[in-house]
Amino acid sequence: MSRSILDVVLLSGFGSSSPEEIDRYGIVDATRIAMCRAVTSLKLKPDQLLIDAVDLQKEVSIPQKAMNFGDSISLSIAAASILAKVHRDQLMVTLSSQYPGYGFECHKGYGTHMHYDMLMRLQPTPAHRHTFKPIASLSQV
């Protein structure tokens, strides 16, 4: 019998950062912001956080343990990683209807040849991180 993570998880929350936040604060700090948003979106306050690599001690007053390669050490972190990726992929499919032709529903925003080809042809959208090196280099062409 195949079960979804959502069938057995006690709590889940999602957080994200906008492309503007990533451009302004950098990917690490924007990731930290998104993770704090995920924690504050939880309906109940957890007793402890297990976190993949990022230390949130300064931002969140919940006991926590940050682990490098946490998704290969902790089943909870691995499950959270899967939920986050599925959530992100669903957002990219939704984004594909706002920006047809970019193929977001196929490559989900990852740096595939198709994605780079569409960027060259159609130019970046407001959904793109403009400080991301391949996109930043387009404005120099």
Query: pLDDT per residue over 67-87, tens digit each?
Result: 999 999 999 999 999 999 999
Please give the model's pTM, rounded to 2 decimal places: 0.85
Residues in a beta bridge with 51: 66
Domain that holds residue 40: 5-138
Question: What CATH number did the domain enclosing 124 receive?
Answer: 3.30.420.10
The percent of residues above 90 in pLDDT, for the chain, comes to: 77
Secondary structure E strands in 42-111: 49-52, 64-67
Torsion of CA 65, 38, 25, 61, to 10 degrees: -50
More confident residue, 114 or 135: 114
Residue 51, both tokens: 């976190």
What's the mean pLDDT in 32-43?
96
User: Is there a contact between 3 and 27 (Cβ–Cβ < 8 Å)?
Assistant: no
> What is the pLDDT at residue 17?
96
Handedness of CA 104, 110, 116, 122 (dihedral sign): positive
- The structural domain count of the chain equals 1
> What is the pLDDT at residue 140?
58
Burial category of 49 from C-beta neighbours within 10 Å (exposed 0-12, middle 13-18, buried 19 and up): buried
